[in-house]
Amino acid sequence: MGLGYTHTDAISEPIRMPASLSPPLPLFLSLLLAMLLSSAVAADFPPVDQLPARPEFPDPLVMLDGTRVTTKEQWESKRKPELKALFQHYMYGRLPPAPTRQTYSELFRDEKALGGKATLSEVRITFEQPSLSHPIHVLFAVPNNVTKPPVFVGMNFCGNHTLLDDPRIHLPEVWCRNTCPGVVNERATDKGRGGQQDLWNIDLIIDRGYALACFYSGDVDPDTPDMNDGIGPAFYQPGQSTAASDDAGTIMLWAWGFHRVVDYVERGAGGAVDPNRIAVVGHSRNGKTALLAGAFDERIAVTIPLQSGCGGAAPSRTTDTRAESVRQINTSFPHWFDGNFKRFQDPLPSPSDANGKTVAPRREIINQFSQNTNRLPFDQHCLIALCAPRPVLLPNAEEDLWANPNGQLEMLKLATPVYRLLGSPGLADGATPAINKLIDSPLGYFLRPGKHAMTRPDWEIFLTYCDQHLKAATSGRPDKAATSGRPDKAATGGRGK
Ligand code: GCU
């Protein structure tokens, strides 16, 4: 691959079909079938107010119609597609299809970067069908002394140029949040260069023998309530001008972005990294996205949502008042989820008329999920279970109660039966969390002291966990072997936009 190359990837196929559908069908048939599978199920989903209220966590191994799942085949061919369809319908919106063609253009390449230890490049991915006016830029750092290293695919808050102080790295032209380093009037400037290098720790990643492919969320969809300023409208039907109730919210659009970067490292990067050893990582809202991306794309071998909280690895049905609730997240970040997630009815008390007679409550639609989380036909352990048997690590911070570290551990416990059905131990029996002790089972957990942030010690843990679950694998997907950045306050303005 030479300097300034451009080449086109003729087809992207992030959707993997259930094992029961093998031998592989021709691609277009597989895609058609995947669409039919999810739309057939989605069409039957009841309106939210007709979903049964269930305060307990739904059993991931029981279908919506009550059928118990007892075999791997039933999980793969029935329950997994049903859960994917449910999450898309009621919460995140539909994952847009992969473009039929995407083109990779290398913007620069330096084979002696980081003191000669790494090859650093940046690639612009552009798309056709749909044609998108939102190219994704990927900063790609690969260690020079490792053949086909494993790779982290990460999404950043503030632009690739904040990862390293290097004038060759492209400055985003699109919206950037004013609290990011160097941003003036929602536009990136040179002053931001290297402003988040302590969050991403590229030197450490390279020293430990891993590559990093990182992209900026705003390339895909700026983190604003406006759903028309990102890639979303490229997937609208003719004549459609606003998002439908099950069109992708911003987190699902970002997950689509993760998948495009996985396309790049898998097929576009000239074999520079090992496509069987891809880990995804993101912090906070980007961690919610990493988890969703991992759940919907089996090319991703390890999923690491850091302090992802509500809408990520923390339960929606939480009783912990210190943790973020669905009501709070939908109020502050209405664009993150789809229309159905916000259109749940409040249980209104039945009012009395003038004579004291009880009358039927108004059938008012309140524009948020609020107390009705118990109508959700899933909780976030089901999203983790969609990764099974692939490893998932949930790193947390002791003081970050907003992200609900205890609730996240509970989600790992409840996802474990699915892992066990597929032959993986899931969360190790009797695993007890303790500060600074990595629980390194395939469903992993870590709690460090301190606050909500992505730090160097967090990366040390990601790397140690991946050394165990990813680096050792030399052929085939590590999952198969197993079964045989919320940045700191200064960076994003803290908890809020
Ligand atoms: C807010 C939000 C969280 C989110 C975080 C972030 O705190 O309430 O859900 O994780 O921002 O992404 O920074």
HEC letters along 97-116: CCCCEEEEEEEEEEEEHHHH
CA distance linking residue 31 with residue 131, whole number of Å: 19
Would you state the torsion angle of the CA atoms of residues 272, 278, 283, 288, taken in this order, to the nearest 10 degrees?
Answer: 140
Confidence of residue 471 (pLDDT cuts 50, 70, 90): confident
- CA 393/CA 461 separation, integer angstroms: 10
Tens of pLDDT along 296-321?
A: 999 999 999 999 999 999 999 998 99
Position 479 scores a pLDDT of: 39
The answer to whether residue 368 scores a pLDDT higher than 50 is no
pLDDT, tens digit, 9 for 90 and up, residues 425-461: 999 998 889 999 999 999 999 999 999 999 999 999 9
pLDDT the model gives residue 344: 56
Average pLDDT for 325-350: 78
Ligand 1 centroid from CA 136, angstroms: 23
Please report the sign of the dihedral spanned by the C-alpha atoms of residue 387, residue 341, residue 218, residue 156: negative
Determine which residue's CA is closest to atom 7 belonging to ligand 1: 495
Average pLDDT for residues 57-64, to the nearest whole number? 97
Whether pLDDT at 470 is above 60: yes
Asked if 82 contacts 63 with a C-beta cutoff of 8 angstroms, the reply is: yes
Centroid of ligand 1 to alpha carbon of 413 (angstroms) = 24
Q: For position 43, what pLDDT does the model report? A: 59
The pLDDT value given to residue 360: 54
Q: What is the pLDDT of residue 49?
A: 78
pLDDT in tens, 283-295: 999 999 999 999 9
Amino acid sitting at position 484: S
Q: Structure pTM?
A: 0.87
Calculate the dihedral angle through the C-alpha atoms of 93, 95, 99, 105, rounding to the nearest 10 degrees. Answer: 100
Average pLDDT, the chain: 86
Q: Distance between CA 314 and CA 218 in Å, rounded?
A: 24
Q: Is the pLDDT of residue 242 over 50?
A: yes
Band the pLDDT of 131: cuts 50, 70, 90.
confident
Q: Report pLDDT for 351.
A: 57
The mean pLDDT value for 145-163 works out to 98
Check 284, 308, 316, 325 and give the catalytic one: 284
Ligand 1 binding residues, C-beta < 6 A: 284-285, 309-310, 324, 329, 332, 486, 492, 495
Active site residue 284: yes
pLDDT of 494 above 80: no
Least confident of 204-208, 269-273, 364-368: 364-368
Residue 206, amino acid? I
- Extended beta strands in 208-309, E state: 211-216, 278-283, 302-306
Distance 128 CA to ligand 1 centre (A): 33
pLDDT above 50 for 281: yes
Higher pLDDT, 328 or 385: 385
137 is annotated as an active-site residue: no
Q: No. of H helices and E strands in the chain?
A: 16, 10
Residues with Cβ < 8 Å from 15, sequence gap 6 or more?
A: 30, 31, 34, 98
- Whether residue 343 is predicted with pLDDT greater than 60 in this model: the reply is yes
Q: Would the pLDDT of 389 be above 80?
A: yes
Q: What is the pLDDT of residues 80-101, one digit of tens each?
A: 999 999 999 999 999 999 999 9
